[in-house]
Amino acid sequence: DAKTTQPPSMDCAEGRAANLPCNHSTISGNEYVYWYRQIHSQGPQYIIHGLKNNETNEMASLIITEDRKSSTLILPHATLRDTAVYYCIVRGNTPLVFGKGTRLSVIA
Amino acid sequence: EAGVVQSPRYKIIEKKQPVAFWCNPISGHNTLYWYLQNLGQGPELLIRYENEEAVDDSQLPKDRFSAERLKGVDSTLKIQPAELGDSAVYLCASSPPGPSGANVLTFGAGSRLTVL
């Protein structure tokens, strides 16, 4: 599976959009981009995934660049409950391989 | 719909003692995973089952760890004997049938092991 690069930490003001970047320059054509998050003392929670097109669900939006070498997860109106570690994972026909993720702190 | 259920949530044992963790996946999910998460790190895969068959156990330390999924539903992960370095969170996840790249894994809350 392609490796991903994420900033170790980010801050976001409550009510503002949180934009979490991810680089995956070695992604191959059949690999999906997945985002999970992990709130303290809980298991990872699925957020969203995509292959080529941008995706949106009730939790977030996923923007994938045209060359698929990077993506951005957007939480449109961050709340304190969005404070968590966010993992960007590129996955083909294999289990999820987690890196260290981005620790997002939402500040009141 | 019930999620992935794990027990116990917390376990404290002394080194050299045995310990077992249980996982009940989401109904209909044929693939089951056990992950290990050390403090400050992302989860790492230990073993993956397709129904009752272990199809990827290359990261499972087989000298002291064992796992089973006898009827292709519930699964148990055992450590015997436990060592201090086994203190971690043990996560279970499951996913439905179909092309695995597009399958979403659902995780349980995890079992936190402390070895004294």
Q: Which tens digit of pLDDT belongs to each residue from B34-93?
A: 999 999 999 999 999 999 999 999 999 999 999 999 888 999 999 999 999 999 999 999
Task: Write down the pLDDT at residue A61.
Answer: 98
Q: Is the pLDDT of residue B27 over 70?
A: yes
The CA-based angle B101-B106-B111, given to 5 degrees, is 130
Average pLDDT over residues A81-91: 96
Distance CA A93, CA A29 (A): 12
Tell me the average pLDDT of chain A.
Answer: 95
Q: Which tens digit of pLDDT belongs to each residue from A28-47?
A: 988 999 999 999 999 999 99
Cis amide leading into B81 (omega within 30): yes
For the ranges A91-105, B11-25, B77-91, the lowest mean pLDDT is seen at A91-105
Pair type for strands A18-23 and A70-75: antiparallel
Chosen for mutation from A30, A40, A85, A98 (greatest number of chain B CBs closer than 10 Å) is A98
Which amino acid does the sequence have at A62?
L
Task: Write down the pLDDT at residue B1.
Answer: 66
The confidence band for A93, taking pLDDT boundaries of 50, 70 and 90, is confident
> Would you call A83 helix, strand, or coil by DSSP?
coil
Distance CA A24, CA B95 (A): 24
The confidence band for A80, taking pLDDT boundaries of 50, 70 and 90, is very high
Q: Is the pLDDT of residue B98 over 80?
A: no
Return the DSSP state at A5: B
Strand residues in B38-103 grouped as ranges (E): 44-50, 53-56, 65-68, 75-79, 88-95
Return the DSSP state at A16: S
Task: Write down the pLDDT at residue A1.
Answer: 62
Q: Is the pLDDT of residue A2 over 90?
A: no
Nearest to B1 by CA among B116, B103, B96, B110: B96
Average pLDDT over residues A4-20: 97
Task: Write down the pLDDT at residue B2.
Answer: 82
Residue B38 at interface with chain A, using a CB cutoff of 8 Å: no
Q: Is B75 within 8 Å of B63 (Cβ atoms)?
A: no
Interface contact flag, A30 B45, Cβ < 8 Å: no
Interface contact flag, A49 B102, Cβ < 8 Å: yes
Distance CA B22, CA B90 (A): 10
Average pLDDT over residues B9-14: 98
Task: Write down the pLDDT at residue B14.
Answer: 97
Long-range Cβ contact pairs of B83-87 (< 8 A, separation 24 or more): B83/B15, B83/B16, B83/B115, B84/B15, B84/B115, B84/B116, B85/B115, B86/B113, B86/B115, B87/B113, B87/B114, B87/B115
Main-chain dihedrals φ then ψ at residue B20, nearest 5 degrees: -135, 145
The confidence band for A74, taking pLDDT boundaries of 50, 70 and 90, is very high
Task: Write down the pLDDT at residue A94.
Answer: 83
Interface contact flag, A92 B101, Cβ < 8 Å: yes
Of B42, B106, B110, the CB nearest to A101: B42
Residue A96 at interface with chain B, using a CB cutoff of 8 Å: yes
